[in-house]
Homo-oligomer: A and B are copies of this chain.
Amino acid sequence: MSSQAPHPALLIPGPIEFDDEVLQSMSHYSESHVGMPFVKCFGETLTMLRTLFQTSDPASQPFVVSGSGTLGWDMVASNLSEPGDDVLVLHTGYFADSFADCFEAYGVKPTQLKAPIGDRPQLDEIEKALKEKKYKLITVTHTDTSTGVLSEIESLSKLVQRVSPETLLIVDGVCSVGCEEIRFDDWKIDCVITASQKAIGCPAGLSISMVSGRAIESFKNRKTPPNSYFASWKNWMPIMQNYEAKKPSYFATPSPQLVHALHTTLKQITARPMDERFKIHKEQSQRVKKAVAELGLKQLAEKPENQANGMTAIYLPEGITPPEILPKLMERGVVFAGGLHKQIATKYIRFGHMGVSVTDPKRNDIDTALKALKDSVAEVEAARKK
């Protein structure tokens, strides 16, 4: 039985439901951030991230820093690009707009390649864009949390290597790491940024990144110093390397409790093959998408190859809005999220299916959610007809 107080199942695309043991790690008694017990825990956590990202290249560099996932954008913009650089931002929703804003704050020039809502930029369009200008970075949102659109990383990477091999490939994996396949080395990714509170299954508050040796070299060869401080890898890199080597080190105080919780969830995740984890997420996602279709509801991402495995963004029946349906879902014990994409925010809802809600057979979250969705839609539609 869960040690958590009774509560509705949180099935938004992050934060997600957390395992009991992970939440208990959050209450760990206070420890020195430079004492050996915590240094060991932090070091092991960094090493386990290598397994999570499927990288065995010792030049790959993990970072775990207190902050929201958004802090990862600042890290990319201020460490991997320099003022005046051009970067190509592939747009599949809200989060590309924000990443572009972040680049601009650091004096970097983003060019957005936009797709219609629910779709993603096509490889031939990307090829054309890459040939038009020399881009320092190309960024892709692996799963855009605002639309549930999944981007394809492997073929994108091959394209970039062929057409513009000097361009670094940056993956925003906030809503994908831990539920979508990511083969960091095999796919030659230069940087994945993510956050703790989604498919990694640790409460919010940690910015997590993996950076390739090639990207670290590019960082070291900057013409100008990083134009951030808390987000600067110049400050954090020696700290991460020391912690992983089990040596105490200090730049800014990490959050021992959050790192303990991350350690706990990574231990659980890496105890099983990563492929098995991706398979379970895919199977459960298929089940959700099938049930949604059976209700006569459409997804924002129409094409199956565009559909994320950790969440589903669902158009509501014509005329029904999130403020009508979300309370009905809540009454039935599940929390979904409203729309986030500005142009259509009032027309859809988002259902997150990541982490223990899909991997823990003792939970019944997905069944409960699908039944709640069916009954809530029926209730609202019946009320409309009166």
Could you mark each residue 22-59 of chain A with 1 if its beta carbon is under 8 Å from any beta carbon of chain B, else 0?
Answer: 01101111111111000000000000000000000000
Could you mark each residue 217-232 of chain A with 1 if its beta carbon is under 8 Å from any beta carbon of chain B, else 0?
Answer: 0000000011111111
A337 CA / B7 CA spacing, docked (Å): 41
In the complex, A252 has a CB within 8 A of chain B: yes
A73 CA / B231 CA spacing, docked (Å): 12
Are A205 and B35 in touch, CB under 8 angstroms? no
A interface majority secondary structure: loop
In the complex, A66 has a CB within 8 A of chain B: yes
Give the nearest-CB partner of A77 in chain B.
Answer: B229
Are B29 and A27 in touch, CB under 8 angstroms? no
When A30-B203, A227-B227, A256-B203 are in contact, do A232 and B15 touch as well, CB less than 8 Å? no
When A26-B27, A226-B105 are in contact, do A32 and B67 touch as well, CB less than 8 Å? no
- Smallest beta-carbon distance A210→chain B, Å: 19
In the complex, A161 has a CB within 8 A of chain B: no
In the complex, A110 has a CB within 8 A of chain B: no
B-chain residues with CB within 8 Å of residue A250 when the two chains form the complex: 340
Are A102 and B229 in touch, CB under 8 angstroms? yes
B-chain residues with CB within 8 Å of residue A67 when the two chains form the complex: 66-67, 71, 230
Q: Give me 12 other A-B pairs in contact (C-beta within 8 A), A106-B229, A204-B254 excluded.
A: A4-B27, A4-B29, A24-B27, A32-B337, A66-B67, A66-B68, A66-B205, A70-B229, A101-B229, A197-B253, A203-B257, A255-B258
